[in-house]
Amino acid sequence: MADVFPTAPRASSAVRASAVALGLVAAFLAIRTTLTSAAWVGRPFPGFMVLDNRVIASVGLVGWSGTSVPNLYQSQVVAVDGRSVRSAPEVYAYAASLPVGTPIRYRLLRGTRESDVVIPTQRFGRSDWTFLFGGFLVCAASRTWARASSCGCCGPDSSDGHS
């Protein structure tokens, strides 16, 4: 007698439709994010990443000018070349307005202590995009695929007519 193995329960049509809708939204967001972040390529930037609250993100690549500055990460940018800044876009716009290699003096706040650092601008290259944003994109895509393929609504037997 042949062994009979139980089959996995099939997802309902509503679950399948929701999974497809979620996949389409995720694809739209991935495309939009990719296009937005690709606009960075070729532009001068500060040599570090700044979050919306002007805090310097704890992420960077080896060749970035900011990575060699001690205690840079998790500091808040309060001024750029003596001018107060209120937003991350102001920091990025100022760096982008200068030629690559121009030193910029940043006033940083870390806890209650302020300090000045000088960091030259640099060009954000394709390899920077690949290693920074590309990694996030691959991670998000693989997580989305893993979730979709494990929900029971996709896969080789999902079109067998059973619901």
Q: Is the pLDDT of residue 136 over 80?
A: no
Nearest to 128 by CA among 15, 48, 68: 48
**Fold (CATH) for 44-123:** Pdz3 Domain (2.30.42)
pLDDT of residue 17: 84
The pLDDT assigned to 56 comes to 97
Per-residue confidence at 114, pLDDT binned at 50, 70, 90? very high
Radius of gyration of the chain from its Cα atoms, rounded to whole angstroms: 23
pLDDT, average across residues 115-137: 89
Q: What is the mean pLDDT of the chain?
A: 84
Which has more confidence, 154 or 115?
A: 115
Overall average pLDDT of the 108-133 stretch: 93
